[in-house]
Structure 1
Amino acid sequence: MEEKNKDVKNETMEWIKSIATAVVIAILIKTFVFNTTYVLGNSMYPTLHEKDRLFANKISLYFGGPSRGDVIVLKAPDAPDKDYIKRVIGIEGDVVEIKDGKVYVNGSILEEEYLINDSYTHVYDESIWEVPKGHVFVLGDNREEGASKDSRYFGCISAKTIKGITGFRYFPIDNRFGKIQ
């Protein structure tokens, strides 16, 4: 009987160790490798739709950060308890200008295939931004007036506020499933 109790205790301890190890690994992956995020609102329409679920890669942030065109998850500068999803338009050293509804980076018009044809990019107070070191300039893909709180509203954002680079939509499983353009 003692032998049977000892076997049950050993098996229970093995289960506890396995579960604890799995939890630690999951926490490490979520903290340092990738996270998931959920789209609320239409600021990234037509690229992303409300209720889309995305993976956000954190590893790239340790090796140089986001590039122009990347879709990122960032801490909302105007609401620290929220996250925003935006597209990187300018990186440090770039000059971003919005003129006649078009976006220019370093004097050249930005080709934005992800926008709806004839989208007009509105400006609020400023129309030219120089992106400082350690910052990026971001815009939502929905350029209708008031549709996106982005760098036109709160200026360039610190790269330290970026929580991940999205690149894959895992839900819904339909014709938009997969890599984000």
Structure 2
Amino acid sequence: MNVFVILLRGINVGGHRKVPMTQLRELLSNSGYVNVQTYIQSGNVVLQSPSDSKILKQDLEESILNHFGFEVTILVKTNTELKAIYKACPFQNEEKEKSYFMFLDTSPNTEGLAEVSKLEYIGEKVSITENCIYFFSANGYGRTKFNSNFYERKLKVNATARNYKTMLKLLAMAKETESKL
């Protein structure tokens, strides 16, 4: 069994695309996944599965579509991938604690990457890798010019952002789940 962190994008925002976490846990447990846990209402799941990431992603997207009646973009990371993303964060101390991790489902488009790498905005720092955009904004994520939607369009990827505190919680949940193996 492998430990996976599942990140659902764009659910429970402004009363749209509602996915109650109790229903999601029940759906996933009834689908054969083990030690299913959720964290807050923004679509964070930790679970165990014998599947690989691609099969798991397809199965989860299909299950959610069939149960809730709408498509949800899902990003799947192994516990090992999540730890590596966290360790690679280029920010330190207070900047790290106020940073966001924008998880990517594929490597960024090279033309788009060249374009966005030239952009600068006072009080913001960005570092882009093949699987994550590390983002710090002194003014907060809600006020940035360069949010997930911007990067998705420019880099031709699916992305979903999680803040530092959520990242720490997901790492702790994945570690706990891994100890149950």
Answer yes or no: same fold by TM over 0.5.
no
TM-score (norm 2): 0.26
* Structure ranking higher in strand proportion: 1
Q: Which has the higher helix share?
A: 2
The TM-score with structure 1 as length reference comes to: 0.26
Select the structure of larger CA radius of gyration: 1
